[in-house]
Chains A and B, each alone.
Chain A
Amino acid sequence: MSRAPAIEVRGVTKRFGDVEALGGVDLVVEPGTVYGLLGPNGAGKTTTVRVLTTIITPDSGTAEVLGLDVTKHPQEVRASIGLAGQYAAVDEVLTGRENLELVGQLTHQPKSTIRARATELLERFDLTHAGDRSLKTYSGGMRRRLDLAASLVHRPPVLFLDEPTTGLDPKSRNDLWDLIRELVADGTTLLLTTQYLEEADVLADRIAVIDRGTVIAEGTAGELKSQLGATVLEVAFPDDAAAAGALATVGAVVAGAETDGSLVRAPVHDGARAAMEVLRALDDASVDVSGITVREPSLDDVFLSLTGHRAEEGDAPPDVDDPDRGGDR
């Protein structure tokens, strides 16, 4: 017998004035798994998270966390969830410890537990040295770690991370990824939103691609990638004319080659082998090459192949995902 899903969203819609932020979102997240919600700015990721964390109520549809309806039992849902994200919801003026203790107080834990839990979390998140300093002195990575720690004060079994690594440097991002992996190893169910395919790939068991308020693809990272043609090979030439001239040579080695300015691009399966074969063919034809890149498909590639449009910010309704400026007050 399978366990009930940790998160279940059915046909959720939400409008902010004239803007349809969610146009019928469906999601099922199994307990103890990581679910990635992948999409560009304004796709509806944050709105979905805000519905699930009881911050806003959906216009229609149902959303349940641990079998509890978010509109009928918001207080019960709140007791079981944690929320952290790109808008690091921490108090800049307070110290790290004070921030954690405030969450402890607001979740009505005993005084002794609150102190011990704050100490424990500061230690676990490598912030003990900064625990008694104001957050104004924290780096972006430290702030994000404290934000994550604050969401864990009451040990919630379901955690929501809204773009947890947006704007972080690679080192801080990797540190945060490690922490997230450990969290999940301990049994936490995690719903994570991201703009980075790589992040969803690294962390999530299943991924939903969301665009303009609806889920347009769903599956494991592997399933999505095979749908997308896996790896992208890009060969750079000195100018557009050289690229156009070399297209036939490249096209003879790998199928589906296209020019893009001074680039020739092709989806390939075995990147290293394809790169070698293409370079050999170009060398035989005495064509000058300025560079060659083998890369994972980006969110842009995903979107291009799924929707036919690029995942540019300008595509999305402006700011509907942005709680700072959205028309959703």
Chain B
Amino acid sequence: MTTTADDALAPVAPAVAATPASGSKLRWALGDTLALARRNLLHYTRVPQLLVFTFVQPIMFVLLFRFVFGGTIDVPGLDYVNYLMPGIFGQTVVFGATATAIGLAEDLGGGIIERFRSLPMVRMSVLAGRTGADLVRNTGVVIVMFVVGIAVGFRPYSVGGVIAGALIVLAFAFSLSWVMALVGLKVANAEAAQAVAFPLMFPLTFASSAFVPVNTMPGWLQAFAAHQPVTVVVNASRGLMLGPEAAAKLEQFGTFTTSTGSYVLQSIGWIVLILAVFVPLSVRQFNRT
């Protein structure tokens, strides 16, 4: 079978390379991941509802806690807005992680994953392209929320601290994306993904230090709230963004139960643990689906 340039329908055999030439395996995986991440990000720019869900909801939370509830919440030694904003970053990425599950469930239902599976691509890039796109989206959201925070009076300690704190939150968000990838692969559709994700994410977000100090909660709840990953990550980010002086005060009043450095280490521990468990589980589930 030969092909002439002017014949769009003529086949060639073999059509394309089946396996990468030695040494370019990583390039294939990276290329496929980028192609799919780009595709997923295009969805955010073209479906306004997705953007509303992504940006408007966290802004509402800032306004709600800064101006409605904020007046009644007392954090010793600190302006509440400074306490709040790192919590908002945490809450935003935890809620946003659901998008990973919804996106994957929709792709599975719509049939496009059938096409991907019939192509000689690197299979895992379907998942990596999804979680990678969600990392980019989360980065955008955190930047926007930072600007909103500054506008309502958030005053972090240093640029370096803000960047370090944001990186911890984003790394945590990336690990949650892999949890939600597994959810998206296990359920049948977007609605079911949301139904599974919500009862998981809601207690993690609200029974945490995101909006109020954990030591104001009843003892039985503190046992969970003080050690669960959202508290650990938000407090790490808080300590980094607000600086050593504020962190010392938080520790002195019992709002922090340990030092910023310890929260950072614990956060890294959680992130590594979640990735170590859920990346293999998601990949296995994807290969089986």
Interface residues of A (CB under 8 A from B): 50, 53-55, 66, 73, 75-76, 78-83, 87-94, 98, 102-103, 105-109, 120-121, 123-124, 134, 150-152, 154-157, 159, 179, 182-183, 186-188, 323-325, 329
Tell me which residues across on chain A come within 8 A of B118, comparing CB atoms.
53-55, 78, 81-83
What is the distance, in angstroms, from A127's C-beta to the closest C-beta of chain B?
12
B11 touches A157 (CB 8 A): yes
A186-B7, A323-B114, A324-B111 known; A106 vs B15 contact (CB < 8 Å): no
Is B199's CB within 8 Å of the partner chain A?
Answer: no
Is B109's CB within 8 Å of the partner chain A?
Answer: yes
Interface residues of B (CB under 8 A from A): 1, 3, 7-20, 28, 31-32, 35-36, 39, 42-43, 46-47, 108-112, 114-121, 188, 289
A107 touches B13 (CB 8 A): no
The number of A-B residue pairs with CB atoms under 8 Å apart is: 134
Tell me which residues across on chain B come within 8 A of A156, comparing CB atoms.
11, 15
Cβ-neighbour of B35 out of A66, A83, A102, A120 (below 8 A): A102
Please measure, in the bound complex, the distance between the C-alpha atom of A73 and the C-alpha atom of B121, giving whole angstroms: 14
B47 touches A76 (CB 8 A): no
A78-B18, A92-B110, A106-B32 known; A187 vs B11 contact (CB < 8 Å): yes
A105-B32, A108-B16 known; A188 vs B119 contact (CB < 8 Å): no
Cβ-neighbour of B39 out of A102, A109, A124 (below 8 A): A102
- Say whether chain B's binding surface is mostly helix, strand, loop, or mixed: loop
B188 touches A150 (CB 8 A): no
What is the distance, in angstroms, from B70's C-beta to the closest C-beta of chain A?
38
A79-B120, A109-B16 known; A93 vs B42 contact (CB < 8 Å): yes
Determine which residue in B17, B18, B119 has the highest number of CB atoms from chain A within 10 A of its CB, and name it. Answer: B119
Tell me which residues across on chain B come within 8 A of A324, comparing CB atoms.
109, 111
Determine which residue in A66, A89, A90, A150 has the highest number of CB atoms from chain B within 10 A of its CB, and name it. Answer: A89
Please measure, in the bound complex, the distance between the C-alpha atom of A155 and the C-alpha atom of B121, giving whole angstroms: 15
Tell me which residues across on chain B come within 8 A of A154, comparing CB atoms.
15-16, 119
- In the complex formed, the residue of B with least CB distance to A32 is B1
B11 touches A87 (CB 8 A): no
A157 touches B15 (CB 8 A): yes
Please measure, in the bound complex, the distance between the C-alpha atom of A49 and the C-alpha atom of B9, giving whole angstroms: 21
Tell me which residues across on chain A come within 8 A of B42, comparing CB atoms.
93-94, 98
Tell me which residues across on chain A come within 8 A of B120, comparing CB atoms.
75-76, 78-79, 107-108
B13 touches A157 (CB 8 A): yes
Cβ-neighbour of B117 out of A55, A80, A186 (below 8 A): A55
A91 touches B39 (CB 8 A): yes
- In the complex formed, the residue of B with least CB distance to A149 is B8
A188 touches B112 (CB 8 A): no
Cβ-neighbour of B14 out of A79, A105, A323 (below 8 A): A79
Please measure, in the bound complex, the distance between the C-alpha atom of A207 and the C-alpha atom of B8, giving whole angstroms: 27
Cβ-neighbour of A323 out of B19, B46, B111 (below 8 A): B111
